[in-house]
């Protein structure tokens, strides 16, 4: 069904809205859903595709009957940008847990990083990280990991269509990744560090695109009252 833009980042369809939200740092995806419910006075609100609290960027939020159509967004490509740091490893593959290993990285070149990133493209089988929301016997893996435990996880097929390295100023670099649903960017950065032999962790992450929807067109949390006021003016 064709969507009609009624406000920057807001699309109206029969039975509800599709909102593009730029999720702030340290907010959970459910925090955003709660705020949308509060600001727009909507009872049925949900999101299509979780972002970790430490990630920012595009979150698609649906209201009303549109909450039953999340599958239409699930299969869309996703684009991310972010930063990484070489020479360290952590259990969570980012800086949310303690550094457990430090290795020499100064001999690593930008060319080597780009070469290994290219090798991590195409169809891959990726093992979900222990610090993730994937469930084992009904319990999220991260709850098991926080107790210092690890269990065997089944690898899942993903596709990394692009893995580009931008700048590199030792020990930190920037990247852009285009991938299929279910891809853990933290795991890709971890695998990059393993391939380079020095370890690597994700230090920041931003989702910039889902399909043809872009974060540049998204609303900030602070703009939500404007959407409510606009809807009221059109009523």
The residues carrying an active-site annotation are 52
Residue 84, SS3 per DSSP: strand
Report the alpha-carbon distance of residue 220 to residue 233 in Å, rounded. Answer: 20
Closest CA to 14 of 63, 81, 53: 63
**Neighbouring residues of 212: CB distance < 8 A, sequence distance ≥ 6:** none
Closest CA to 39 of 218, 232, 178: 232
CB atoms within 10 A of CB 25: 11
Per DSSP, the chain holds a count of helices (H) and strands (E) of 6, 15
Report the alpha-carbon distance of residue 233 to residue 93 in Å, rounded. Answer: 47
Distance of CA 13 to the CA centre of its chain: 26
**Neighbouring residues of 171: CB distance < 8 A, sequence distance ≥ 6:** 85, 86, 87, 88, 105
**Beta strand extents in 87-191 (DSSP E only):** 88-89, 101-102, 122-126, 135-136, 139-140, 156-169, 172-179
Report the alpha-carbon distance of residue 113 to residue 192 in Å, rounded. Answer: 8
CB atoms within 10 A of CB 168: 19
């Amino acid at each position: 069904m064709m969507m009609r833009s009624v406000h920057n980042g807001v699309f109206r369809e029969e039975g509800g809205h599709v909102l593009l939200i730029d999720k702030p740092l340290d907010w959970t995806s459910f925090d955003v859903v709660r705020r949308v419910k509060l600001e727009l006075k909507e009872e049925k609100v949900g999101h299509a595709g979780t972002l970790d609290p430490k990630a920012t960027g595009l979150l698609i939020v649906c209201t009303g009957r549109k909450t039953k159509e999340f599958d239409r967004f699930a299969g869309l490509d996703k684009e991310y940008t972010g930063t990484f740091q070489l020479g360290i490893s952590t259990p969570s593959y980012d800086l949310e847990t303690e550094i457990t290993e430090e290795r020499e990285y100064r001999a690593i070149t930008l060319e080597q990083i780009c070469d290994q990133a290219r090798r991590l493209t195409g169809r891959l089988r990726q093992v979900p990280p222990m610090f993730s929301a994937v469930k084992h016997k009904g319990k999220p893996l991260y709850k098991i990991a926080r107790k210092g435990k690890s269990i065997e996880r089944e690898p899942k097929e993903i596709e990394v269509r692009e893995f580009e390295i931008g700048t590199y100023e030792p020990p930190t670099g920037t990247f852009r990744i285009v991938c299929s649903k279910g891809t853990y960017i933290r795991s890709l950065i971890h695998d990059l560090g393993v391939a380079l032999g020095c370890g690597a962790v994700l230090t920041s992450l931003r989702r910039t695109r889902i399909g043809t929807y872009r974060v540049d067109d998204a609303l900030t949390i602070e703009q939500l009252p404007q959407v409510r006021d606009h809807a009221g003016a059109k009523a």
